[in-house]
Structure 1
Amino acid sequence: MEAKNTYNLRIFGLEILGILLAVLFLVPFYFVIVNSMKSFGEILINSANLPTSLNFMNYTKVWSIMKFPQVFLNSLLVTVFSNIGLVIISSMAAYRLVRSPSKFNNLIFLAFVAAMVIPFQSIMIPLVRVGSQIGIMDSIPGLVICYFGFGVSLNVFLYHGFIKSIPIEVEESARVDGCSPYGVFWKIVFPLLKPMTVTVVLLNSLWIWNDFLLPMLVLSSPDLRTIPLATFSFFGQYTKQWDLALAALVLGVLPIVIFFLAMQKHIIEGITAGSVKG
């Protein structure tokens, strides 16, 4: 009986700790959402209080100033096409590296792993110079190509480990039935990669949608701005429009939050499938 009470107290303590941590992580969201519905003066007076009234004028102004439909479309195009390319390139590359083991392929895989530790700041200037020479600067396709280069290393690493868990006998049976090498990959292997593909797409989307530095380097035309670049326009050298900036942050974060909630079911399924597979 005493052991049971000790166990219950321990669980209760862990629950309290979990609630406190959740509250701690939700505090920044509270400040952003609450202050996005205040005037600039109200924010300066007391940023922690609830707004005296629900005022959505900030959102209306931000929608017009940012040209939100345009910047949303730009961010969506960059995120979608970058994900498509990264999934195709990374999954095929990882499959080749796993199923065709050799010293050369091992060296290539080590190069992918080593590329993950190179800080982005160290290659900013070479990126701008090379991008200008090959004509990919100030364009959505050029930005997508840059994301291919920066994202493929981690994705190959993730796919590489997952493909090892797929029994090769499944592929051999398909080859015996006359399936081509590309057919084996796209019809047999790639559907089995769904759990890892969901993980890769989620990680890439969170990174690309919220990225600021790479779009700032590549894009210069106002019509090509992504949501983070458009939000930065509210922070000037001498003035910071916090009321509008916070409303812009809410509008920018909302789509990726909805995407995460929509993918949550698939993420849980992927974790379950991965645990059973292992």
Structure 2
Amino acid sequence: MKQKRLKKVLWSILALFVALVFLAPLYIAVVNSFKTQKGIYLDTLGLPGKLVFTLQNYVQAFKDLNFFNSFLNSFLITTISTIIIIALSSMAAWKLVRTRTKISGVIFFMFAAAMLVPFQAVMLPLVNLMGKIGFLNPPGLIFMYIGFGSSLSIIMYHGFIKGIPKELEEAAIIDGCSEFQVFWLIVFPLLKPITVTVSILNVMWIWNDFLLPQLIINKPKWQTLPLKMFYFFGQYSKKWNLALAGLVLGMIPIVVFYFVAQKHIVKGVTQGSIK
């Protein structure tokens, strides 16, 4: 009994240490977002005192980021990209699972192999091609997100769909459903748990992405929040107080989305286990 208690205490201490390590950057960002630039340099880890506490960072960061416009750009690009990725990937994975041929196996292998190709290896030729066809704009950015995000999504859907009984689809076809209706009315509702997971992965990746928008977006009115954040880091100076305030503002929507979606994941998994 003593050994079990000791082991439990040690695991609890380890878990607490890991949690502190992961939460430390968040603590530093939030705490220092309420300090003046001088206050950050004087005491980075301490709480903001009366002499260095300020809310002006958030007001100024809100203005400098042109927050409403850049937030809307990020929201539209992320939402549209994720919805299209979910729709196309789920349909493609379903068709690959239900079509047992050598060609379907080769196609699935190609999607899996595409994940091994680093973005840095194709970014320059890709940007050059997009420039030639006049696609250096938000629609072009969405198009590329769909391409880069579909491989992992298809693989995740593929594994989940294998566990869905084919008899459900056959029964729907006997009742007169078309292939399109079978998927959207019968199969897709059963994919809710994995759909939420795919949504979270793609939303967090697209929302926080900096490199691809930097290469594609060439007009200030189209810039997303990560691109606007770069405004605070100049060649000779870094506005850490404003940058951290802007970072917190940019984190709030994605953190809220994550916690809301997390509830649906737990609910969906629980429903699946009961069934």
TM above 0.5, yes or no, is yes
* 1:154-169 superposed matches below 5 A: 154-169=152-167
- Following superposition, the deviation at residue 270 of structure 1 comes to 3.0
* Matching residue of 2:260: 262
2:218 aligns to what SS in structure 1? Answer: coil
Q: Does 1:71 align with 2:95?
A: no
**Alignment partners' CA distance in 2, 1:82 and 1:215:** 13
- Following superposition, the deviation at residue 8 of structure 1 comes to 2.1
* One-letter code aligned to 2:87: I
**Alignment partners' CA distance in 2, 1:8 and 1:266:** 34
* One-letter code aligned to 1:221: K
2:206 aligns to what SS in structure 1? Answer: helix
* 1:184-203 superposed matches below 5 A: 184-203=182-201
8 A Cα contact 1:195 1:273, kept in partner: no
The number of aligned residues is: 273
8 A Cα contact 1:78 1:140, kept in partner: yes
- Following superposition, the deviation at residue 276 of structure 1 comes to 5.5
- Following superposition, the deviation at residue 264 of structure 1 comes to 1.7
Work out the percentage of aligned pairs sharing the same amino acid: 49
**Alignment partners' CA distance in 2, 1:272 and 1:16:** 29
Q: Does 1:9 align with 2:11?
A: no
Stretches of structure 2 that go unaligned for 5 or more consecutive residues are none
Q: Does 1:24 align with 2:11?
A: no
1:89-128: CA deviations, max 9, x gaps?
Answer: 0000001100011111111100000000100000111111
* One-letter code aligned to 2:150: V
TM-score using structure 1 length: 0.95
* One-letter code aligned to 2:95: R
**Alignment partners' CA distance in 2, 1:227 and 1:271:** 33
* Matching residue of 2:235: 237
* One-letter code aligned to 2:4: Y
* 1:1-278 superposed matches below 5 A: 4-53=1-50, 54-137=53-136, 139-275=137-273
1:49-69: CA deviations, max 9, x gaps?
Answer: 111134210000010111001
- Following superposition, the deviation at residue 275 of structure 1 comes to 4.9
* One-letter code aligned to 2:97: V
**Alignment partners' CA distance in 2, 1:271 and 1:210:** 27
1:156-188: CA deviations, max 9, x gaps?
Answer: 000000000000011111111111110100000
8 A Cα contact 1:31 1:47, kept in partner: yes
**Alignment partners' CA distance in 2, 1:275 and 1:129:** 49
**Alignment partners' CA distance in 2, 1:168 and 1:135:** 44
Change (3 A) 1:162 1:248: same
Change (3 A) 1:274 1:218: farther
Stretches of structure 1 that go unaligned for 5 or more consecutive residues are none
**Alignment partners' CA distance in 1, 2:242 and 2:217:** 23
8 A Cα contact 1:74 1:224, kept in partner: yes
* One-letter code aligned to 2:173: R
2:232 aligns to what SS in structure 1? Answer: coil
* One-letter code aligned to 1:250: V
* One-letter code aligned to 2:20: V
8 A Cα contact 1:116 1:153, kept in partner: yes
1:33-85: CA deviations, max 9, x gaps?
Answer: 11111111111112111111342100000101110011000000011000110
**Alignment partners' CA distance in 2, 1:168 and 1:273:** 20
1:119-164: CA deviations, max 9, x gaps?
Answer: 0000111111111122211x22111111001000000000000000
**Alignment partners' CA distance in 1, 2:252 and 2:108:** 37
CA RMSD for the aligned pairs?
A: 1.2
TM-score using structure 2 length: 0.96
- Following superposition, the deviation at residue 6 of structure 1 comes to 2.1
